Amino acid sequence: MKLNLKRPLAFFDLETTGINVGADRIVEIAILKAMPDGSEVIKSMRINPEMPIPLHSSLIHGIYDEDIATAPTFKDVAAELAEFIGDADLAGYNSNRFDIPVLLEEFLRAEIDFEMLDRKFVDVQNIFHQMEQRTLRAAYKFYCNKDIVNAHSAEADITATYHVLLAQIERYKEVDFEDKQGNISKPVVNDVHALHVFTNMNKPVDFAGRMVYNEKEEETFNFGKHKGKTVEHVFDIEPSYYAWMKQGDFPLYTKKKLDEIWARWSKKKDLLKQERQQQAEANRPKPAQAQPQQSKPQPVQQKKEKPPVDVTHDMLEQLKMKFGK
């Protein structure tokens, strides 16, 4: 059978220096891109983690410092990997809890904005654990009746994961599943959206599980003293919690999602403040307007006329002497 895809589904697996999402780095990545037409494309590469690989990790995946000494760093290939994945949905084994958070950390360090908002992500392990509760090796044996050759090689593991999902869809297409609330459904179907819903029942916000969505689709803290409280409510009662998390040892993607919520919360607070100011302005009593004083008309000053003077003989004589007439 082939997957019923509306767009590509990129299965990927990582080998890393350790299991700390925020601190450890990728040493190998393999991506199997299943296309809607049924074709498959694989990209696999070793990565220089720019830090020593602990011996206990090398003993698991078989990659040592000398094996990646000349390999490119993740920053060197980040743009190439992002372009290869494109707008594909993501799938993997335990990918929601580990592979996706680690990949997002590496993209953020490389300053590549790998958007997750519109992607579906299918965690094959969640299907397996909820239906059978076993490991990848056991899953491959159980569903495909095969043993993984070269286990803990990224390419071998991701190929096995791909085939396990195909077998799971075939096996559980008519099998009932009862959730914790007693709801019964047939969730394992050949549809990426349905598989996305079934394998993300905890609804993570940041993939590291520090924040999850509640039943109202609100971001909620999933750890510490504020566990179970919405992030925005915590910002209301203790805004310094944001600064504490920003300065703490949390994954970069967790901090990125925290920034988005903080920006949205701050905008709401500003709008609410503006509305209150406008309401207060509207309710403030207006001062009485002073009536303009009307000026009284000024009385017209009448010029006093000089009384007429009688012309005498002496006056005439003086005029003659002055003008010579």
Per-residue DSSP letters for 113-164?
Answer: ----TT--EEEHHHHHHHHT---HHHHHHHHHS-PPTTTT-HHHHHHHHHHH
- How many of the other CB atoms lie within 10 Å of CB of 154? 24
CB within 8 Å of 157: residues ≥ 6 apart: 13, 30, 93, 136, 148, 151
Q: In what order do the strands lie in the sheet with 26-34?
A: 40-46, 26-34, 9-16, 89-92, 121-123
Give the pLDDT confidence score for residue 233 in this predicted structure. Answer: 96
Give the pLDDT confidence score for residue 190 in this predicted structure. Answer: 96
Give the pLDDT confidence score for residue 306 in this predicted structure. Answer: 57
Buried b (16+ CB within 10 A) or exposed e, 282-303: eeeeeeeeeeeeeeeeeeeeee
Give the pLDDT confidence score for residue 149 in this predicted structure. Answer: 81
Nearest partner of 206 among 252, 239, 262, 247, judged by Cα: 252
Give the pLDDT confidence score for residue 279 in this predicted structure. Answer: 87
- Alpha-helical runs (H) found in 26-145: 55-61, 74-85, 100-109, 124-131, 136-144
Are 188 and 177 contacting, i.e. CB atoms less than 8 angstroms apart? yes
Give the pLDDT confidence score for residue 302 in this predicted structure. Answer: 60
Are 62 and 52 contacting, i.e. CB atoms less than 8 angstroms apart? no
Beta bridge partners of 33: 10, 41
The one-digit pLDDT tens for each residue of the chain (325 residues) are 889 999 999 999 999 999 999 899 999 999 999 999 999 999 999 999 999 999 989 999 999 999 999 999 999 999 999 999 999 999 999 999 999 999 999 999 999 999 998 999 999 999 988 887 678 888 899 899 998 887 778 999 999 999 999 999 999 999 999 887 788 999 999 999 999 989 887 788 988 889 999 989 999 999 999 999 999 999 999 999 999 999 998 999 999 999 999 999 999 999 998 988 888 888 888 776 666 666 666 666 665 555 665 656 666 666 666 665 5
- How many of the other CB atoms lie within 10 Å of CB of 258? 22
Give the pLDDT confidence score for residue 300 in this predicted structure. Answer: 60
Three-state DSSP state, 55: helix
CA distances from 79 to 23, 75, 160 (A): 21, 8, 27
Q: Is 225 exposed, middle or buried (0-12, 13-18, 19+ CB in 10 A)?
A: exposed
Q: How far apart are CA 122 and CA 198, in angstroms?
A: 8
Sorted by where each starts, the structural domains of the chain and their CATH numbers stand as 9-128 (3.30.420.10), 136-199 (no CATH), 202-277 (no CATH)
Give the pLDDT confidence score for residue 138 in this predicted structure. Answer: 87
Give the pLDDT confidence score for residue 131 in this predicted structure. Answer: 87
pLDDT digits (tens, 9 = 90+) for 54-81: 998 999 999 999 999 999 999 999 999 9
190 alpha-carbon distance from chain centroid:
28
Q: How far apart are CA 320 and CA 325, in angstroms?
A: 5
pLDDT digits (tens, 9 = 90+) for 239-249: 999 999 999 98
pTM: 0.71
